[in-house]
Amino acid sequence: MDLDTLDIARWQFAITTVYHFLFVPITIGLSAIVAGYQTAWVRTGHEQWLRLTRFFGRLFLINLAIGVVTGIVQEFQFGMNWSDYSRFVGDVFGAPLAIEGLLAFFLESTFVGLWIFGWDRLPPRLHLATIWLVHVGTVLSAYFILAANSWMQHPVGYRYDAVTGRAELTDIVAVLTNRVQLVTFPHTLLAAYMTAGAFVVGVALWQLSAGRSRPGADRSEDRGMFRSAARVGAVVLVVAGAGVALSGDLQGKVMTEVQPMKMAAAEALYDTEQPAAFSLVTVGSLDGSEELWSLRVPHLLSYLATGDLDGEVRGIDDLRAEYEQTYGTDPGAAYYSPGDYTPVVPVTYWSFRLMIGLGVAGVAGGLAVLWATRRGRAPSSRRWVWLGVALPLMPLLANSFGWVFTEMGRQPWAVFGLMTTERAVSPSVSPTEALVSLLALTGVYAVLAVVEVRLLLHYVARGADPHVEPRLRDDEHDPERPLAVAY
Amino acid sequence: MELTTVWFALIAVLWIGYFCLEGFDFGVGMLLPVLGRSEAERRVLLNTVGPVWDGNAVWVLVAGGATFAAFPEWYATLFSGFYLPLLMILVALIVRGLAFEYRAKVDDDRWRARWDVALVVGSFVPALLWGVAFANILHGVPLDADSEYAGGLLTLLHPYALLGGVTTLLLFLTHGAVFLALKTDGPVRRDARGLASGLGTAAAIAAVAFLSWTQRDTGDLASAVLFLGAAVALVLGVLAVGVGREGWAFVGTFAAIALAVAGLFAALFPDVMPTTLADGTGLTTTNAAATSYTLGVMTVVAAVFTPVVLAYQGWTYWVFRQRISVHHIPAAGRVPEPQR
């Protein structure tokens, strides 16, 4: 097999990033839902909210741990595998990354320690504030890292310095309010809430339809509690899902303006059309250049891309000719590689559809759960277990396909219009080194996935612990009392 | 002062924060099988750092991010050059972090034993390799005319670098033992004190050798003063733990690590990554730096938020200031092993 460092580095980035982002949305969304449960407990004193806080809190922590440790790789692999990228963009791209660390990572990791171990050390309201601060940390983190990514999709607030041969920051506000960022951030954040909502619904459904109650527990009380959990999760899923659709629609229009090739590749649209139809599925050649059969919705692509039912959508062939004019010739030869400006169309075409399809299916599942739990009902048939298993996977995989689409749709660029991916890779890293890294990280990640899933299933099956009222420590009078939470 | 100098100093501060805080986490991790003879004692050790290790670990992420933003060339050359050692550190940090979080999640001896191995190895590898890496930065490595790393893995292994690794390893072991003496009670505390004296003596010998070597090769007046301060702080810290003054001992090892790292950065300045090749281009605070606009933006952000971070991290240590002994360890969660 003839692999060069570039291919290996791309695979590593894809694998480690998609893997990391399985945990990120659950961390973002579930921290908010757990904080919501704990708020309900602090305000009402109703013990079911505390039990749910602890139950979902533990699942949240199991998930968070992998998100945190795989995030370490993300911070360093730009320098390790993409050193020329780092040299070229560090002045612009490094700033949001560093700010993310200082504002978000410290907040998240410090307050999560306070939340885990603080049950018997902090007064209830202060303890509640710690989990909300964890959530704030996750949202800030999302903001800055998405600002960095948005800059790669649509570079703004910089100038190209021919002497140093790098992009240099001229306007940090422009980078942080990039128009791509302003639609990407809500889209991604809402997708995270959607994912966590689906996760909560899935777990609650499992408890309702297959869970056995713990010895001594009141089965009907637990059913009532998990019915509430299912409804909270379903509401979050459906409302956030609607927001994901709206923000995604806005995102498509911005994308058509700043990266028209990505929109053309999303539809495998080779020739410019006006009006343009959207194909739900196509049977034909893999790259969509020849089709045997397709199911098409007339005018829909025009609407998605331009907001106008009769809008013109430019095709891949036209755009490629234009890109060759703009980027294909000198003087920018140092950073522009002439040639094929077409992304890998089968990947963009199908990942775009899978993203949308799985998202819509997730919302439909959420609506079904709301219907099944209406007016005091709770599903108990074993058939619901399957929805419980499938539902969390839908938005989870939709997230992955969304990232695959947006990153593959940007190719061949690392930074759109400025730097191709092939020029971004580290020149000093040998294919052997890169392969060792890819295999080591993939191997470790695979083992961790097995461990994580087993742990999660174990704690899901175990159900919620009985209610225990938190009690503040009084070390002067009771110095030997065991810790409320200990590793 | 020039912004590039400010950022060189700020990155030094981030590494100082990382080594002073995560240093004792590494030490506690490595001492787990030594000082934790029973399961309850091992859990005492883990719970001294349980609430804080994650916040401590973030210092290195911010150091990395800040280097990316302030000195992109340094970030690019360092991490692509020290590729395999850094990969080992990353894998170690991954398994070690999960060991903290997952070890207590299943009540099963084999499960715990595996995570114990992960914790010990995952603490040992970075404690050793960070020292090797810093020694290599100071020593200089082959960087070609484009400042690309031109050596291999073995280039990084020479006596000076290995001495650097042994020094950080022993310093973190000592720091961890002193921390445990300060944060525990009962037999663990007694044993930690005894161990801290012995480890501290070894660490002092290694540190004096490594810092003198550094001073001879690249030192200046500032680094000499800082290294001397580090040596004095370490000796006083070790003496203090010998007479049972654990708080002062911790101040001593903390200050020793801080002053030693500060001295290393002083000895490095104004280089950030010197080259050993005659026709190579080494990196300095000037030719590796970001633009003054970026550095200015980052300075404002750092000036506002660093004190906030220090305040809430400091508060965390105050909240969890209680000494922990086996009395405080609740019975294991009676969690049956997951069904296969």
Length of chain B: 340
What average pLDDT score do residues B208-221 get? Answer: 95
Of all residues in chain B, the one with the smallest CA distance to A84 is B76
Judge: B61–A166 Cβ closer than 8 Å, yes or no.
no
Helix (H) or strand (E) holding A415: strand A413-415
Within a domain: B335: no
Chain A residues in contact with B327 by the CB 8 A cut-off are 480, 482
Within a domain: B337: no
Judge: B50–A116 Cβ closer than 8 Å, yes or no.
yes
Give A317→chain B minimum CA distance, Å: 37
Judge: A73–B94 Cβ closer than 8 Å, yes or no.
yes
pLDDT above 90 for A190: yes
Could you tell me what percent of chain B has a pLDDT over 70? 97
What average pLDDT score do residues A214-232 get? Answer: 79
Q: How confident is the model at residue A381 (pLDDT cuts 50, 70, 90)?
A: confident
pLDDT score of A468: 87
Chain B residues in contact with A110 by the CB 8 A cut-off are 52, 54-55, 58, 309, 312-313, 316
Within a domain: B192: yes
pLDDT score of A477: 78
pLDDT above 90 for B67: yes
What are A300-349's pLDDT values in tens digits? 999 999 999 999 999 998 998 888 888 875 434 444 444 578 888 999 99
Within a domain: B340: no
pLDDT above 80 for A150: yes
pLDDT score of A333: 46
Judge: A122–B319 Cβ closer than 8 Å, yes or no.
yes
pLDDT above 70 for A212: no
Q: Which site among B48, B294, B339 would you substitute to test the A interface, given the most A Cβ atoms closer than 10 Å to its Cβ?
A: B294
Q: What is the DSSP string of A104-126?
A: IIHHHHHHHHHHHH-TTTS-HHH
Q: How confident is the model at residue B334 (pLDDT cuts 50, 70, 90)?
A: very low
Pairwise CA distance, residues B292 & B301, whole Å: 14
Helix (H) or strand (E) holding A280: strand A278-284
Q: Which domain holds residue B26?
A: 3-324
Judge: B100–A105 Cβ closer than 8 Å, yes or no.
no
CA–chain centroid gap for A253, Å, is 21
pLDDT score of A183: 97
Q: What is the mean pLDDT of chain A?
A: 91
Judge: B58–A109 Cβ closer than 8 Å, yes or no.
yes
Within a domain: B165: yes
- Could you tell me where the beta strands, DSSP code E, fall in chain B? 271-273, 283-284
pLDDT score of B225: 97
What are A418-470's pLDDT values in tens digits? 888 888 999 999 999 999 999 999 999 999 999 999 999 999 988 888 888 88
Chain B residues in contact with A70 by the CB 8 A cut-off are 94
Beta-carbon contacts below 8 Å between A and B: 250
Pairwise CA distance, residues B201 & B235, whole Å: 8
Give B318→chain A minimum CA distance, Å: 11
Report residue B106 as tokens: 């299943």
CA–chain centroid gap for B93, Å, is 12
pLDDT above 70 for A213: no
Q: CA–CA distance from A338 to each of A9, A320, A331, B79 (Å)?
A: 22, 11, 11, 29
Judge: B79–A113 Cβ closer than 8 Å, yes or no.
no
Chain A residues in contact with B91 by the CB 8 A cut-off are 440-441, 444
Query: DSSP code of A374?
Result: G
Per-window interface: A 65-104 vs B, CB < 8 A: 65-66, 68-73, 75-76, 78-81, 83-84, 86-87, 89-95, 97-103
Q: How confident is the model at residue A214 (pLDDT cuts 50, 70, 90)?
A: low
Give A206→chain B minimum CA distance, Å: 16
Give A437→chain B minimum CA distance, Å: 7
Which region among A157-166, B33-42, B50-59 has the lowest average model confidence (pLDDT)?
Answer: A157-166
Q: How confident is the model at residue A481 (pLDDT cuts 50, 70, 90)?
A: confident
Within a domain: B39: yes
Judge: B61–A87 Cβ closer than 8 Å, yes or no.
no
Domains in chain B: how many in total?
1
Within a domain: B338: no
Q: Is the ipTM of this complex over 0.95?
A: no
Q: CA–CA distance from A451 to each of A198, A215, B102 (Å)?
A: 22, 27, 9
Q: What is the mean pLDDT of chain B?
A: 94
What lies within 8 Å, CB to CB, of A66 at 6+ separation is A23, A448, A452, B98
What average pLDDT score do residues A224-229 get? Answer: 92
pLDDT score of A375: 87
Chain A residues in contact with B305 by the CB 8 A cut-off are 102-103
ω into residue A412 within 30 of 0, thus cis?
Answer: yes
pLDDT above 70 for A371: yes
Q: CA–CA distance from A405 to each of A270, A354, B148, B225, B302 (Å)?
A: 18, 10, 33, 56, 35
Of all residues in chain A, the one with the smallest CA distance to B143 is A428
pLDDT score of A281: 86
Within a domain: B330: no
pLDDT score of A480: 79
Give B253→chain A minimum CA distance, Å: 23
User: Facing residues of A168 across strands?
Assistant: A159
pLDDT above 80 for A217: no
What average pLDDT score do residues B141-148 get? Answer: 94
- Say yes or no: A416 contacts chain B, CB-CB below 8 A: no
Judge: A72–B324 Cβ closer than 8 Å, yes or no.
no
Judge: A61–B101 Cβ closer than 8 Å, yes or no.
yes
What are A385-427's pLDDT values in tens digits? 889 899 999 999 999 999 999 999 998 899 998 888 888 999 9
What are B31-54's pLDDT values in tens digits? 999 999 999 999 999 999 999 999
ω into residue A331 within 30 of 0, thus cis?
Answer: yes
